[in-house]
C-alpha cells in the first residue's frame, strides 16, 4: 500500500520483526544446505555493506579480500597457480563454468550444438545453464547414486564440450568417481567441471575422503559455496579455474569503470559476503573448520544409527553430511525434504546437534508407532 508520509523507524522495524517471526525457526530446519552464519560472518558482512566489487578500483581494500579468499581456496584445492572469482553461489558458478566450456567449443570452430554430460543427481542449476547457453544436456546413469564412468564414455561424442561431476550431491551427499571421470575427460580433451558447492568445504577436512580437487589431472574447474558449509553470509560462492586464461574467454570491455574488463556474470557485486567468508576462514583456520566438519559427520553417523535403532533404515551411507532415510511420517514441527526417489533427506549442518537429533528421533518414534 502507498504510504505518503512515511512511518517512524520503530514502527517499520517492529513490523519487520513481526514478519521475520513468520519464517521457520532454524532449530527445526533439517533441510537446508546453508549453515547458520557464524557470528563473525555477520559482523564482517555489516562492516562491508556498501562495498561493490563490480567497480573494484573504488574498493581496492575489499578487492584484496577477494584475492585472498580465492588464494585460500586454491591452496585448499591444491593448485596455487590457478585462477578464480567470487560468485553469488553454486548456480552462478555452474552457469559460468559451462559458459567457458561451451564458448571454448564454439571458438574451436566446432559449430555444431555442444552437449554436456551430467550425472542424474546433478543440481537443477545445470538445467538453467542448458536453457541459457543452448547446449544439450545428456544425463548419465548412476551406480549407488554416483556417476557411472562407463555410461559417460558411451555418451561422449565429438560435440561433447564438458563433463560435470558432483562432489557432495544435493540429494544423497555422494561423491562421483572424479579421478575416473577426469581421465576420460583428458583422453577426449573435454573440459571437466566439479560441482563441490556443498562438499568443497567438507571433504578436505575428512580423513580418507574421496578425491575431487586440482591434484587430479584433468579437473578444469571447481565450484564451492562458503554460504553452505562455510558458515558465511548469503550470497557467497567461489569458482576456480585451473587455467588463468579461462577468464579471457568470458571477458567483456567495461570502458568507463575503474577496471577495463569484466568476466563476471553480474555487474554490481556485494563485497560484504566476501568479507564474511574471509572472516570465518581466518578466524577458524584449518583446524577450527576441521573440528566443526568432523562433528557434523559424527552427528550424521549418530542420526543414522539412532533412526535404524527404531527401524527406519538409511537410503545410503553418504560421503558427506547428508542423511537420507526410507520414507516415514514426519512429525511437527520438523522441516525435512524429500529426494526425487521419495527418501527423506536431512542436511546435518553445524546447528543440528545430538540433542536436536534425539528430539526428532523421539517424535518420529511416537508418530510412527500410532
- Residue of 211, 311, 299 lying closest to 30 (CA atoms): 299
- Residue of 278, 276, 234, 270 lying closest to 55 (CA atoms): 270
Q: Which span (100-108, 191-199, 271-279, 317-325) binds ligand 0PR, by CB under 6 A?
A: 191-199
Integer Cα distance of 92 and 261 in angstroms:
19
- Residue closer to ligand 0PR, measured from CB, 31 or 294: 31
DSSP notation for 232-249:
-PSS-EEEEESSTTHHHH
Site string for ligand 0PR, 120-149 (x = CB under 6 A): ---x-x------------------------
Integer Cα distance of 36 and 34 in angstroms:
6
CB of 162 to ligand 0PR, least distance (A): 15
- Residue of 101, 102, 94, 146 lying closest to 125 (CA atoms): 94
Assess 198 for contact with ligand 0PR (CB under 6 A).
yes
Contacting residue, 66, 195, 306, 343, with ligand 0PR by CB under 6 A: 195
Assess 233 for contact with ligand 0PR (CB under 6 A).
no
Assess 349 for contact with ligand 0PR (CB under 6 A).
no
Total residues found in the chain within this entry: 370
CB of 4 to ligand 0PR, least distance (A): 37
Asked if 129 contacts 164 with a C-beta cutoff of 8 angstroms, the reply is no
Peptide bond into 147 cis (omega under 30): no
Assess 32 for contact with ligand 0PR (CB under 6 A).
yes
CB of 89 to ligand 0PR, least distance (A): 3
Q: Which span (32-40, 64-72, 260-268, 283-291) binds ligand 0PR, by CB under 6 A?
A: 32-40
For CA atoms 273, 277, 278, 283, the dihedral sign is positive
State the angle between helix axes of 272-309 and 60-76 in degrees (0 to 180), rounded to the nearest 10.
40
Helix (H) / strand (E) element for 66: namely helix 60-76
Residue corresponding to grid cell 567483456: 252
Contacting residue, 85, 95, 174, 197, with ligand 0PR by CB under 6 A: 197
User: Within 154-183, which residues bind ligand 0PR (CB under 6 A)?
Assistant: 166, 170
CB of 231 to ligand 0PR, least distance (A): 14
CB of 347 to ligand 0PR, least distance (A): 8
User: Within 94-113, which residues bind ligand 0PR (CB under 6 A)?
Assistant: 94
Contacting residue, 148, 180, 213, 225, with ligand 0PR by CB under 6 A: 225
Query: Where do contacts with ligand 0PR occur on this chain (CB under 6 A)?
Result: 31-34, 89-91, 94, 123, 125, 166, 170, 195, 197-198, 225, 237
Amino acid at each position: 500500500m502507498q504510504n505518503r508520509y512515511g512511518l517512524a523507524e520503530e514502527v517499520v522495524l517492529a513490523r519487520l520483526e513481526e514478519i521475520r517471526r513468520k519464517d521457520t525457526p532454524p532449530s527445526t530446519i533439517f533441510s537446508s544446505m546453508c549453515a547458520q552464519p557464524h557470528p563473525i560472518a555477520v559482523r564482517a558482512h555489516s562492516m562491508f555493506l556498501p562495498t561493490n566489487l563490480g567497480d573494484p578500483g573504488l574498493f581496492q581494500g575489499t578487492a584484496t579480500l577477494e584475492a585472498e579468499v580465492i588464494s585460500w581456496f586454491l591452496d585448499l584445492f591444491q593448485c596455487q597457480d590457478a585462477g578464480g572469482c567470487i560468485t553469488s553461489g553454486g548456480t552462478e558458478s555452474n552457469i559460468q563454468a559451462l559458459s567457458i566450456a561451451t564458448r571454448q567449443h564454439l571458438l574451436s570452430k566446432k559449430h555444431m550444438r555442444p552437449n554436456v554430460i551430467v550425472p542424474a543427481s546433478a543440481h537443477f542449476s545445470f538445467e538453467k545453464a542448458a536453457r541459457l547457453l543452448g547446449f544439450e544436456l545428456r544425463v548419465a546413469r548412476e551406480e549407488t547414486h554416483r556417476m557411472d564412468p562407463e555410461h559417460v564414455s558411451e555418451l561422449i561424442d565429438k560435440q561433447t564440450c564438458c563433463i560435470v561431476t558432483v562432489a557432495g550431491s544435493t540429494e544423497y551427499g555422494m561423491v562421483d568417481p572424479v579421478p575416473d571421470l577426469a581421465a576420460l575427460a583428458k583422453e577426449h580433451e573435454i573440459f571437466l567441471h566439479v560441482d563441490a558447492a556443498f562438499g568443497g568445504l567438507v571433504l578436505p577436512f575428512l580423513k580418507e575422503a574421496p578425491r575431487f580437487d586440482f591434484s587430479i589431472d584433468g579437473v578444469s574447474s571447481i565450484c564451492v559455496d562458503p554460504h553452505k558449509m562455510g558458515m558465511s553470509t548469503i550470497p557467497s560462492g567461489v569458482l576456480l579455474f585451473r587455467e588463468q586464461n579461462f577468464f579471457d574467454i568470458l571477458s567483456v570491455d567495461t570502458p568507463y569503470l575503474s577496471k577495463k574488463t569484466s568476466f563476471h556474470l553480474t555487474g554490481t557485486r556485494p563485497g560484504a559476503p566476501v568479507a564474511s567468508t574471509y572472516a570465518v576462514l581466518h578466524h577458524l583456520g584449518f583446524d577450527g573448520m576441521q573440528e566443526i566438519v568432523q562433528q557434523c559427520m559424527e552427528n550424521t553417523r549418530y542420526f543414522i544409527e539412532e533412526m535404524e535403532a527404531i527401524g527406519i533404515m538409511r537410503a545410503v551411507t553418504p560421503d558427506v553430511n547428508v542423511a537420507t532415510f526410507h520414507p516415514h511420517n514426519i512429525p511437527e514441527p520438523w522441516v525435512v525434504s524429500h529426494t526425487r526417489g521419495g527418501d527423506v533427506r536431512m542436511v546435518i549442518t553445524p546447528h543440528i546437534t545430538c540433542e536436536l537429533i534425539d528430539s526428532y528421533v523421539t517424535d518420529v518414534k511416537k508418530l510412527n508407532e500410532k
